[in-house]
Copies of this chain bind each other. A is one copy, B any other.
Amino acid sequence: MAQSRKTLRPQVHRQLDPAAWTAAGLSPANALIVAVILISTVFAVVETEPVIYGRFGRWFERAEIAFGLLFLFEYAARLWSVAEDRGDQSALRRRLRFVSSPAALLDLFVILASLVPVLGLNASALRLVRLLRIIRLAKLGRLSKALRGLSRAISLRRYELGLTVALAMSVLIIGATGLYWIEGDLQPDKFGSVPRSLWWAVTTLTTIGYGDVYPITPAGKIVASLLAMAGIGLIALPAGIMAGATHDAMKSGGSTNEGGV
């Protein structure tokens, strides 16, 4: 047993801790966990459909328990292998630190919530929380380098992007106020107040155009046309800003992709 601890525990630790895995990509164990998280997310999405749940409900419940047990087993393995972390602390202190970390607390909470079905509907939402774990597992490696690159690009131009958001907000309010004046009396349920008009302004500026609200007077259509044109600029401006930013961020920060690709 003492022997197996010497040989097994470091291996488990190497498999589970992304920082301890020196090879490229995810370790086999973490790749499996990512896959299981993705599958359990698909299950969490699909089981909300009454037609499917009505037929296969029993199987979804069983799958959910299986997922819960799997993640409980993973949690236990992490708790056991965390003692292998480098540093001067004792194994117990490391485990206590692991247990009290927000990420581990959230994990445990989600595991318990899916195994002890007392929260009803919201359990399905809690399972979506597991998606967050993928980000943590993928923290190292190329994807996270790409993530850092994009974050740096957005950060480089955060004032310019913030300005376009402020500009968009102003255009939204002005457009909504315009149609509130022009068609507020004609279509009171749609343009009878600025907040109501804002719904129309958002679906117009983002070029969605559901068709549940649209102007019917010539003046309203002219304002809507101006807002729609502004919408084109609203897409072109951030796209242009991001283009220069990604280029600069890749250059200055040392791109992920320039070396061995």
Binding site for B on A (CB under 8 A): 41, 44-46, 48-50, 124-125, 128, 131, 142-143, 145-147, 149-150, 153, 155-160, 162-163, 168, 170, 173-174, 176-177, 180-181, 192-196, 198-199, 202-204, 206-212, 214, 218, 221, 224-225, 228-229, 231-248, 250, 256-258, 261
Contact = CB atoms under 8 A, between A and B. Distances in A.
Given A45-B195, A146-B162, A194-B45, A245 B236 contact: no
A158 B176 CA distance: 28
A244 B236 contact: no
A198 B143 contact: no
State the oligomeric state as a number of copies. 4
A257 B177 CA distance: 35
23 contacts: A44-B194, A45-B173, A46-B195, A48-B194, A131-B173, A143-B163, A147-B163, A150-B237, A158-B257, A160-B246, A202-B224, A206-B228, A207-B208, A208-B208, A209-B210, A232-B238, A235-B235, A236-B239, A239-B242, A240-B245, A241-B243, A243-B244, A243-B246
A170 B245 CA distance: 24
Contacts of A41: 173
Contact of A159 (B142, B218, B247): B142
A239 B228 contact: no
A221 B212 CA distance: 12
Contacts of A198: 45, 225
Contacts of A228: 202-203, 206, 208
Contacts of A174: 128
Given A162-B146, A209-B209, A257-B156, A247 B243 contact: yes
A150 B238 CA distance: 11
Given A41-B173, A209-B210, A243-B246, 4 more contacts: A45-B198, A199-B221, A236-B239, A244-B246
